[in-house]
Structure 1
């Protein structure tokens, strides 16, 4: 066994042990939080970010954030985003800025909404918290995008970032199995299930587990050079798919399927005949494995998961809402946009207005409609920048074969979980990287080569 493979296995065992430790001794989570911040700063300063160590540490933070939230280890509610911003700023000090004019514009267009909020939010509202809660995600995305925009990175290093994503996810999976060893015992309905989600928000847990499905699928296809690693990573894909399904929160699973489908589609389109055959085999095996995971999940939930995805309640009756009632919230935000098309209603104010007009105190969890409601036409311009820039960059340089999958993760996640986690902001930024030097037989070559 090669040294790199042995190191990977040791790291997996360490993070599995970490999952056990934070379950048995929850206070360890706070110690781990401080350690990540301290080690990350030390690692980046010591290396002077010569090989984009910032991306490795930020990926690690993205994956560990949900575990820290589950175990009450967060020193601040937005610890994940703030930590990534610290790492990114350090990276900029050592490696400079990129010429990301569009993303500077993206950040500038957020300012009028902030000014409007300070003038119009209710006196009883904590303006700073309202603005920070709604803009920490977009600001984190903008800063990460400025760092990553057309930044050159080797494909091997990008795979290193994928590995950094994967490790904390092991601890998350172990914690979930310890928290709910018997899924069958806690599933009684078709609503999102907190028990199978480690006692934390199923929407956010489903999001990170869905990302885990994709991360380990990439590890399996591109980063498993031995049979042992292939079996190991394939096993993790199955584990994360199962745990994601039984959260009963559908967003993360749909996102994972879309990411994998697009990843394989990009590879297949750019591949030669020999590689296309391998990809075809992977697709067939994935389909069979997916049926197996779904069947097992159905058995463990007494068929309730089938009803959940059919949008039925436990008695098999069709639910009125496809999106758990969020359609009305999204409609109200769109109405605010039509009523205030230039500057919107101001950051954080859409929730206030909805409560006054309808009595509903809830968030839509949809970043698209929130941006339109709170920023008006400026928010629309921002969304156009975010949506089309990665696509154009991919068409120019198709070596970043993960770019469209990263973009789809952001696109689908912000439609059901907004940007409460750091994951969509940072993963989106990875779609902007300029990847070079592909050194693996499974990576397709450009057709014009």
Structure 2
């Protein structure tokens, strides 16, 4: 047990040190990006994926994606998504997959007409291949990961290790943010999303992955902190990640992380006995106090601007016209495009091109649902319904999956404010489909 604790501390220290090294020598980020799949593949091959190693390698890739992108390590924006797809396919070759996952094959097939419609459109001059990859790589990643993970059996403790695999690179991310911008006070001047406090990268994506990190280290603090040292360590990580998530001034990821934690505690409360509910009530109160304290400190560091940001006001305290950072106009355009082209939609990538005319600039959709409707029409609606209902059908016989609702809400909320720019929502959605058991089932007697 002592070795396990030392290992956890050592790995955390390694990822903190890694952030420092890459901050000083940025070129190492690309080497890091190359080493992860090479080392991961060697682990999978050596163990023949007997313990679903592909899930753990993919989880680490999902956690490291934003860090690689902000440090220039990514070879292209879809690098991690395609690596996740690659490892999921490798997993299928070793372990096969459930025939009942065919609905996700149908989901993929429903996306094809949208590609064909786009190829037939001669009114726009744009790179179709680039548009297809940009808009559909997240969907491909989700579908392939879902096919592999469909009812794969994992213990709850193993699932937590998957989350830790995501969380470790998030530690590197938050350390890098502190190195890139030690003082939030010096760079905050308004209530818009802040690139300086986000490591020079997109605040929306940084907020998304840090919001997921909030949930990961909250669950680690509640369930898997076996000593005072681990309690203190996980609490510190939770506080720092939450603080830097709020400091991005991008609300989506923070709100999503908070919703995941709240949903998780509600589920625990509902399934607990009287004694357990008292403990969870205490956790609720403590979590609330901690959340208010972190937000208050961030407010102090930002001269109260963060409060105005969440109240949808500008730096002078005036109410902003839009509540979603301009996303309302994009969603409105998507809905109009759907009504004009309800059957097959306007084609993959054509929404961005059409917005040049309606909004005066080529704006990519931040809402995956409205994009599916406008670019894929009724087929997009059917594909979304598959994603919406299949997990709940599985959950009926999978009640020990304590993270199910938190994972599902992460996917649903994230695709509403950040589309599927990063691999995290695709991968976390697939985690909903795992068959999770809290305890190892007892072996039946022979005969």
TM-score computed with the length of structure 2 as normaliser: 0.96
Q: Deviations 1:238-287 (Å, cap 9, x if unpaired)?
A: 11111000100000011001100111111111112222122111111001
Mapping of 1:13-412 within 5 angstroms? 13-99=13-99, 100-120=101-121, 122=123, 124-412=125-413
In structure 1, what is the equivalent of residue 444 of structure 2?
none
The CA deviation at 1:356 is 2.8
Q: Deviations 1:391-447 (Å, cap 9, x if unpaired)?
A: 2222221111101111100100011110000000001000010012437xxxxxxxx
In 2, Cα distance between the equivalents of 1:364 and 1:151? 33
Q: Deviations 1:301-349 (Å, cap 9, x if unpaired)?
A: 0100011111111000110000111111110100111111111111111
Quickly say closer, same or farther: Cα 1:89–1:420, change in 2 above 3 A: same
TM-score computed with the length of structure 1 as normaliser: 0.96
182-191 or 231-240, larger mean C-alpha shift:
231-240
In structure 2, what is the equivalent of residue 434 of structure 1?
435
Quickly say closer, same or farther: Cα 1:74–1:327, change in 2 above 3 A: same
The 8 Å contact of residues 333 and 358 in structure 2, kept in 1 or not, is answered as: no
The 8 Å contact of residues 117 and 346 in structure 1, kept in 2 or not, is answered as: yes
The 8 Å contact of residues 368 and 420 in structure 2, kept in 1 or not, is answered as: yes
The CA deviation at 1:354 is 1.9
Runs of 4+ with deviation above 3 angstroms: none
The 8 Å contact of residues 68 and 74 in structure 2, kept in 1 or not, is answered as: yes
SS of the aligned residue for 2:436 comes to: strand
In 2, Cα distance between the equivalents of 1:39 and 1:350? 39
The CA deviation at 1:149 is 1.0
The CA deviation at 1:121 is 5.4
In 2, Cα distance between the equivalents of 1:191 and 1:14? 34
In 2, Cα distance between the equivalents of 1:368 and 1:123? 23
In 2, Cα distance between the equivalents of 1:292 and 1:411? 28
In 2, Cα distance between the equivalents of 1:13 and 1:137? 32
SS of the aligned residue for 2:51 comes to: coil
Q: Deviations 1:92-135 (Å, cap 9, x if unpaired)?
A: 11010122021111111111111111111556311111111100
The CA deviation at 1:76 is 2.2
SS of the aligned residue for 1:76 comes to: coil
The 8 Å contact of residues 394 and 404 in structure 1, kept in 2 or not, is answered as: no
Quickly say closer, same or farther: Cα 1:224–1:320, change in 2 above 3 A: same
RMSD (CA atoms): 1.1
Quickly say closer, same or farther: Cα 1:29–1:121, change in 2 above 3 A: farther
In 1, Cα distance between the equivalents of 2:116 and 2:94? 33
Unaligned runs of 5+ in 2: 441-447
The 8 Å contact of residues 121 and 349 in structure 1, kept in 2 or not, is answered as: no
Quickly say closer, same or farther: Cα 1:123–1:336, change in 2 above 3 A: closer
In structure 2, what is the equivalent of residue 446 of structure 1?
none
The 8 Å contact of residues 137 and 422 in structure 1, kept in 2 or not, is answered as: yes
